[in-house]
Amino acid sequence: MTADSLLAITVLWGFVFIYAVMATMDFGAGFWSMIYINKEKTNATNIANRYLSPTWEVTNVFIVAIVIALVSFFPGATFILGTVLLLPGSFILILLALRSGFLVFSHVAKDYEKSLTYVSGISGFIIPGLLMLVLPITHGGYIEVVNGVHQLQFEKLFTSPNIYAFIGFAITSTLFLSSLLLADYSNVADELDAYKVYRRDALTLGPISLIMAFLIMITLRTEANWLYSNMMNYLPFLIGSVITFFIAGTALVIPSGRHKGRIGRPRLAVIAVTIQYLLASYAYGRAHLPYMIYPDVTIQSGFTHPNTFRALFITYIIGFLILFPGFIYFWRLFMKDKRYLKQSEN
Amino acid sequence: MDDLVIARSLFGTTMGFHIIFATLGVGIPLMILCAELLYQKTKDKDYAIMANRWTKGQAVLLGVAIPTGTIAGVQLSLLWPGFMEVIGKVMSLPFQIEIYAFFIEALFMSIYVYAADRISPKMRILSVSLVLFGATASAVLITNVHAFEGTPTGFRIHNGEIVDVDPWAAFFNPSFLVSAGHVAVSAFTTGAFMISSIAAFKMLKNRSQDRVYKFHRKALILGLTVGGIFSLLTALNGHESAQMLHEYQPEKLAAAEGLFDTQDYAPLAIGGFTDKETQEIKYGIEIPWALSFLAGNSFDTTVIGLNDFPEEYWPPLFVHTLFNGMVLIGSFLIFLAMVGFVWNKILKRPHFPKPLMWAFVISGPLAILSIEFGWIFACTGRQPWVIYRILKTEDVVTGSTQIGLLFILFSIVYVILAVAVSLVLRYYFKRHPVEKELDYSSSESSMKI
Ligand code: HDD
Ligand code: HEM
Ligand code: HEM
């Protein structure tokens, strides 16, 4: 592992993390706006839509950014991943296309809002599960070389308990994180009914997602032992992650500091959960190194040409400097401006 | 069919679908900006209404442009992993910079659409300018990858290894500026004529309603003006593109013109179909010497014919028809804009004659057709190479099978999206007819999107 390839994988990991948070929020919000569409008076659907409308496009850029970062930093890994992911990748793309399209359509064609929302809500619910599949595929054991071509072994894939643990985790933590974030969002907007609904959902789903995480670890032990034992070297991070989870839970049940009579401090819970996921994914990511795809590709063997890396890295710095003010402005307009948060639909 | 052919068909279909929405995503923001600027200048409410309505339409189109673009981007790696491996090592800069352009576009598009009523007019104009900038930049950058495929520079392949990589030399490859310029101006042309089409159609349907008719007439004139300027630029720049082919990809130019024998004073063949057996253009018109002049600005320029290349390097010969289709439509668009200008500014007639109106109506779809022709010509004309004279398409295609199934699935999804987007647009503009907004604007001063 050279410093350059380590830097590159860190950037990639950063993108994956940001996307994971934004996408859970995005897909989860789509799901909740579907679930609560018939409960008009709680405003839960409106809250979800108000978050979703301006952000889905920005979120989508992140998934493109991940693919581009992978291709440009690790073209060697792209070759194998591109080959084996043809089918699952294509299904994700198809669902993503339907979901983005129908999400936009449902906001425009108000008379058909309900049925259109179902299309976007359901597809958005399946996507995280499929996206998560990419992780266990890189753990090894599911790729075989047949006639000189890397091929995904679907039978092995769909009989592995580890795969189902990952899918279950993806779905439950999508719903958990998004309900938590929406609880915070509706709290800021003083939408008390919506807040209650989302707080309750977060409290129910949190423990389930934690159980799923444990299931992943248990099945990982037999399915990809190299990764499991590496992760055990980062046990303090994993323990820290469980602790922050409980901090988040506590934050949701203690009385609010700012508003009398309201229960829970969702902002604190959001921060704690973010740290929880950061710690856990750091332990996972570190344990995964140096392999990108076990045991075929390491971050060194898949690495791009050093000249290209240097040029890319310069554009990263410049791009960040240019974009940062834009993100701040965006955040202020849609996450903090009470005029936006409190407006009623239409 | 073998997997290579299906992979090509699948990718071509994806691109052919994406390009419709992507081009409009570049062209319509320019029209929105023009309308916003005209509103600030003339204080004529109609222009504000135009900007508002076009933005609504554009926001719906985005619902297809973005997911299909995402498909295109990922499909490059899924279908052509060998190609993306080389691109990753040598030519990833434009892809990477394109991400920043996407971010700029996405951020300010959301701001323009969802915060329009909370920001100042200046901020609105800045936002829509940044949307335009982001969209144009992403088109320019992605075209740069295509340009690189035709005129690769900045690396060598030595014993199967990629060496001597100079990413900026690859970025500034010889055809970058010409190709990217052509794509940008042709997108502006297309956006403008699309607006003209809709306006002309509405004028034909609303002859009696004076207020509505006037509104659409303003939009038509704006569309024709912008379209006229950019179609002229497209043609001028297209001429340069052809000269670039003459210099760097002579067999592509030869196939585009159906020229078999190398010659000076070469004739230009317009229309018709290339016949491989007799080595001539059937049913076409020949203009003596014109091709030599086109290729090198003088009649005695020697133009290389296909026979000077081994037949396995020949691009498919039907590209001649595509190339001609593009040039013909380009010339027709310039002609239309000029007639419109003469009628409106010089003869000062309030109404256009009906046949001319119908010509305006088809101008937008024709421009889109021209985009399709141009791209299929450019990509198919590069065959059998994916990177000219370096990498063959058949060597980079995925080893996975099952592409046939995916071709069917993706095609179904494109049909669903195409139908849904048309229905939604129709629904929205039926529900919000311009008459209502025109009535409003006389009584109400603030506007919401
Ligand atoms: C409104 C659309 C439009 C119009 C009116 C024209 N073009 Fe075009 N043309 C394109 C849209 C386009 C395009 C879709 O944007 C292409 C495809 C690839 C590219 O770089 O631009 C293109 C490619 C393209 C190429 C091939 C470049 C390559 O292979 O890399 C040439 C030689 C021309 N054009 C020449 C012309 C000429 C001489 C025109 C005369 C009027 C013309 N085009 C009108
Ligand atoms: C958006 C408009 C575009 C359209 C309609 C289009 C169309 C096509 C078609 C029809 C093919 C199949 C060629 C054949 O086998 O005959 C193709 C191939 C291809 N195109 Fe394009 N293309 C477009 C833009 C681009 C751009 C911008 C790039 C550069 C990133 C690109 C890169 C490729 C590659 C890599 C292939 C596959 C390999 C090959 O067949 O050479 N295309 N495209
Ligand atoms: C030259 C032909 C192309 C043009 C002019 C073009 C232009 C555009 C534009 C303007 C958008 C933004 C849509 C909008 O927001 O209005 C877009 C989206 C996108 N395009 Fe294309 N594109 C072209 C070809 C391609 C190709 C070949 C790829 C794949 C490599 C691609 C990948 C994408 C992606 C990933 C997006 C979505 C970005 C997002 O998430 O916001 N495009 N394209």
pLDDT grade for B119, boundaries at 50, 70 and 90: confident
- Coil/strand/helix, residue B384: coil
Q: What local confidence, expressed as pLDDT, does residue A223 receive? A: 87
The string of pLDDT tens digits covering residues B138-166 is: 999 999 999 999 999 999 988 888 889 99
Cα angle A255-A256-A262, degrees, rounded to a multiple of 5: 80
Q: What local confidence, expressed as pLDDT, does residue B447 receive? A: 43
Two structure tokens written together for A40 = 């008009």
Residue B292 forms part of a structural domain: no
Two structure tokens written together for A96 = 């993503």
The whole-angstrom separation of Cα A324 and Cα B182 is: 31
Q: How far is A73 from chain B (nearest CA, A)?
A: 7
Q: What is the pTM of this model?
A: 0.91
Please indicate whether, in this complex, the C-beta atoms of A104 and B398 are within 8 angstroms of each other.
no
The string of pLDDT tens digits covering residues A245-257 is: 999 999 988 887 7
Average pLDDT over residues A204-225: 92
Per-residue three-class SS string for B21-66: HHHHHHHHHHHHHHHHHHHHHHCCHHHHHHHHHHHHHHHHHHHHHH
Residue B363 forms part of a structural domain: yes
Residue B350 forms part of a structural domain: yes
CB B187 within 8 A of CB B409: no
The string of pLDDT tens digits covering residues A295-306 is: 888 888 889 999
Q: How close is the Cα of B323 to the center of ligand 3, in Å?
A: 23
Q: Which residues of B112-132 are buried (b: 16+ CB within 10 A; e: fewer)?
A: bbbbbeebeeebbbebbbbbb
Q: Rounded to 5, what percent of chain A is helix, strand, coil?
A: 80, 5, 15
CB A38 within 8 A of CB A142: no
Q: Does B111 touch chain A (CB under 8 A)?
A: yes
Residue B294 forms part of a structural domain: no
The string of pLDDT tens digits covering residues B170-189 is: 999 999 999 999 999 999 99
Residue B295 forms part of a structural domain: no
For residue B316, the ligand 2 atom closest to its alpha carbon is 16
Task: Given the cut 0.95, state whether the ipTM is greater than it.
Answer: no
Residue B356 forms part of a structural domain: yes
Total of domains in chain B: 1
The string of pLDDT tens digits covering residues B190-213 is: 999 999 999 999 999 887 778 889
Q: What local confidence, expressed as pLDDT, does residue B399 receive? A: 82
Q: Does B126 touch chain A (CB under 8 A)?
A: no
The whole-angstrom separation of Cα A319 and Cα A328 is: 14
Q: How close is the Cα of A187 to the center of ligand 1, in Å?
A: 54
Write out the residue range of the structural domain in which residue B355 sits: 3-262+304-448
Q: How close is the Cα of B134 to the center of ligand 3, in Å?
A: 11
The string of pLDDT tens digits covering residues B276-318 is: 877 888 888 888 888 888 888 888 888 888 888 888 888 998 9
CB B88 within 8 A of CB A302: no
B9 or A53, greater pLDDT: B9
Q: Which residues of B71-92 are buried (b: 16+ CB within 10 A; e: fewer)?
A: bbbbbbbbbbbbbbbbbbbbbb
Question: Ligand 1 — pocket residues by CB below 6 A?
Answer: B 143, 150, 179, 182-183, 186, 189-190, 234-235, 238-239, 241-242, 245, 252, 326-327, 329-331, 333, 367, 370-371, 374-375, 378, 381
Residue B296 forms part of a structural domain: no
- Among A173-182, B5-14, B18-27, which stretch is predicted with the lowest mean pLDDT? A173-182
Residue B391 forms part of a structural domain: yes
Nearest CA in chain A to B416: A98
